[in-house]
Amino acid sequence: METVGFIGLGRMGGGMAANLKKKGFDLAVHDINPASVRKLEDLGARKANGAAGITQASDVIITVLPSSVEVEETVLGADGILANSKPGQLIMDMSTVDPRTTDKLAVAAAKKGVTVVDAPIGRLAWHADRGQSLFMVGASDADFKRVEPMLQAMGTTIFHCGKVGTGIRTKLVNNLLAITLCQLNAEALALSQRFGLDLTKTLDVLYNTTATNGQLKINWPNKVLAGDIEAGFTIDLAHKDLSLILQAANQEKVPMPMVAAAREMFSLARSGKHASSDFSAMADALCEAAGIERPRTPKGWKPPA
């Protein structure tokens, strides 16, 4: 079994690293937050000294970081992964970044005899905790086979999307729909609240027409509609992803008017008190701005199967 180094033990990465260790992988970890490192040490992982220490101790280095800036610093920096790498190592970046960052890493790594896999994460933080994440993987066939056991330890659903760079591009397409649907749902439920409609009866109708969607039927009943806006995926991060989507689409000359409008509504929400709220809390942000009662289902209510 290969030695794995894990950089980035935040809300998503911490749970994923824990599942690697629980499944028996030899694991070295690093994060700027000492408390996050201690949690993994308690499970038996080894603490490493920064990107250099992780690289020197590992065959496969996994990164789960906030943005392209941190990923590039960690991989390409003066004392980063590539500066300390040796031929035959593999970097698997699981962050949501600008696709050009992934392409840049792959080119730089190849010059050092190192390969790159991009495997951004689908689903939410609680899925990561339970080892139920979804992964969209860009990799050669050989590299996919190499990382597949690690992905299986961290998740339940794995898609090999194609060569390096296809994983992150698939993630942006996925998040375009997942995030903009939150804005559409927020507007629809705000209008239903203003009309004075019974929320559960409105949901019954929506769930039985083509208007329904995964956010409204799967995520929202367990989050904002139940009064839980603790973040599985924050409005701040959703705003970041919409910005990445618009940037990538502009490069490809693909117009994105609905995404642009949704991004501005997320800008408004994050400028107030909801930056760190779950992205389903767009319903609350819109209703609060319009002076409408926030949509809440009765305690114990469940959507129809």
How far is Cα 193 from Cα 164, in angstroms, rounded to an integer?
A: 46
Chain centroid to Cα 98, Å, comes to 13
Q: Name the pairing type of β-strands 121-122 and 133-138.
A: antiparallel
Of these residues, 21, 104, 171, 223, which one is catalytic?
A: 171
What is the DSSP code (8-state) at residue 225? G
* Tokens, residue 142: 């050989």
Residue type, 191: L
Beta-carbon count within 10 A of 257 CB: 7
What secondary structure, in 3-state letters, does 238-272 show? HHHHHHHHHHHHHHCCCCCHHHHHHHHHHHHHHHC
Dmax (CA) for the chain in angstroms is: 65
Mention every residue, 6+ apart, whose C-beta is less than 8 A from residue 135: 94, 119, 120, 121, 122, 151, 154, 155, 157, 158, 159, 167
Q: Is 171 a catalytic residue?
A: yes
How far is Cα 129 from Cα 216, in angstroms, rounded to an integer?
A: 23
Task: Give the three-class secondary structure for 274.
Answer: coil
What is the DSSP code (8-state) at residue 300? T
Q: Which helix (H) or strand (E) holds 30?
A: strand 27-30
How far is Cα 70 from Cα 53, in angstroms, rounded to an integer?
A: 17
How far is Cα 110 from Cα 178, in angstroms, rounded to an integer?
A: 34
Active site amino acids: 171
